Amino acid sequence: MMTPERVKLTGAKETLLVTLAAKAGESLLPDSLLHDHFAAEAVARIDYDFARLGVDRDLMVGLALRSYLLDVWTRDFLARHPRAVVLHLGCGLDSRVFRIDPGPDVLWFDADFPEVVALRRRLYPKREGVTLIGTSVTEPDWIAQLPTDRPRLILAEGLLPYIAAEEVPPLLDRLTAGGPGGELAFDAYSRLGLWMIRNNGAIRRTGAELRWFLEDPTELERQVPRLRLLQELLPNDPEGCSAEQLARLSPVARWAALACRIVPAFGKVGRLLRYAF
């Protein structure tokens, strides 16, 4: 048996254990969508009191759905650009590269804080074509090591709300500069959405600060003129949350999801966004 990995993370770093626990839990449900058995295996090897986070079934279903939709966008981009560079920012212990299993010509970069990357190295096997970068993504220098001669897919799942608001546009500007262009995909929350995440029990227990919100996706086009909005998935969009996924939620969460379809302000609490650059 492998030695358990003792994990001591705090704040935004600890939130990776929320998403990991959710994806692990969802993979064990009989109607799993994401089938993230990598997450389940990682959880089994980590010495941490996951029960304290209180990740419930609704969070499992919601976070698995978010990852699933970003996986769909990733596969779509890689089908069009088999020699792409993928920048997976704030990767935490997400197993996307294993779930997607990209072709041999894809260069994949997983980036997160150094201690998170060190943990990732201990938990997941090495893989050809994958480079791990231990850095705060807001540091300006690490971007210089990325190839600039290939289409670039930038993924940021559960990351940008933890970045200081004034740092987000310059970060996206640096990431999208130079090279032949590509796409950027991430989740974003309105001010109300950020308040709701802040008050989610699991996130509150990590003490993470939530800082960046987006009311209107076209705002970002103005802040980073290289970006052009391609797609927006809202919770009230059947492509974002199908009837089948809705049916997996508890009655209270289903009611809240339906409220999103009726009350416009609720409909915009959280979105998945895809931009071209």
Residue 56 has a CB neighbour count (10 Å cut-off) of 16
The 201-240 contact track toward ligand SAM, x by CB under 6 A, reads ----------------------------------------
Instruction: Decide if residue 120 touches ligand SAM (CB under 6 A).
Output: no
Region near ligand SAM per CB under 6 A, out of 28-36, 72-80, 157-165, 262-270: 157-165
- Which CB sits closer to ligand SAM, 78 or 163? 163
Region near ligand SAM per CB under 6 A, out of 73-81, 133-141, 143-151, 220-228: 133-141
Instruction: Decide if residue 137 touches ligand SAM (CB under 6 A).
Output: yes
Residue 160 has a CB neighbour count (10 Å cut-off) of 24
Out of 159, 172, 249, 273, name the contact with ligand SAM by CB under 6 A: 159
What are the two backbone dihedrals, phi and then psi, of residue 89, each rounded to the nearest 5 degrees?
Answer: -90, 140
Residue 162 CB, shortest distance to ligand SAM, in Å, is 4
Contacts with ligand SAM by CB under 6 A: the residue count is 21
Residue 113 CB, shortest distance to ligand SAM, in Å, is 5
Residue 65 CB, shortest distance to ligand SAM, in Å, is 12
For residues 235 and 240, give the distance between their C-alpha atoms in angstroms, rounded to a whole number. 6
Single out the residue of 176, 108, 167 nearest to residue 138, CA to CA.
Answer: 167
Element (H, E) at 112: strand 107-112
Instruction: Decide if residue 16 touches ligand SAM (CB under 6 A).
Output: yes
Length of the chain: 277
For residues 269 and 226, give the distance between their C-alpha atoms in angstroms, rounded to a whole number. 25
Instruction: Decide if residue 183 touches ligand SAM (CB under 6 A).
Output: no
For residues 200 and 179, give the distance between their C-alpha atoms in angstroms, rounded to a whole number. 39
Residue 31 · residue 61 · CB < 8 Å: no
For residues 87 and 201, give the distance between their C-alpha atoms in angstroms, rounded to a whole number. 30
Instruction: Decide if residue 138 touches ligand SAM (CB under 6 A).
Output: yes
For residues 95 and 40, give the distance between their C-alpha atoms in angstroms, rounded to a whole number. 10
For residues 16 and 18, give the distance between their C-alpha atoms in angstroms, rounded to a whole number. 5
Strand partners, 110: 88, 132
Instruction: Decide if residue 98 touches ligand SAM (CB under 6 A).
Output: no
Residue 258 CB, shortest distance to ligand SAM, in Å, is 26
For ligand SAM, the binding residues in 24-63 under the rule CB under 6 A are none
Instruction: Decide if residue 158 touches ligand SAM (CB under 6 A).
Output: yes
Q: Which residues bind ligand SAM (CB under 6 A)?
A: 12-13, 15-16, 19-20, 90-92, 94, 112-113, 116, 136-138, 157-159, 162-163
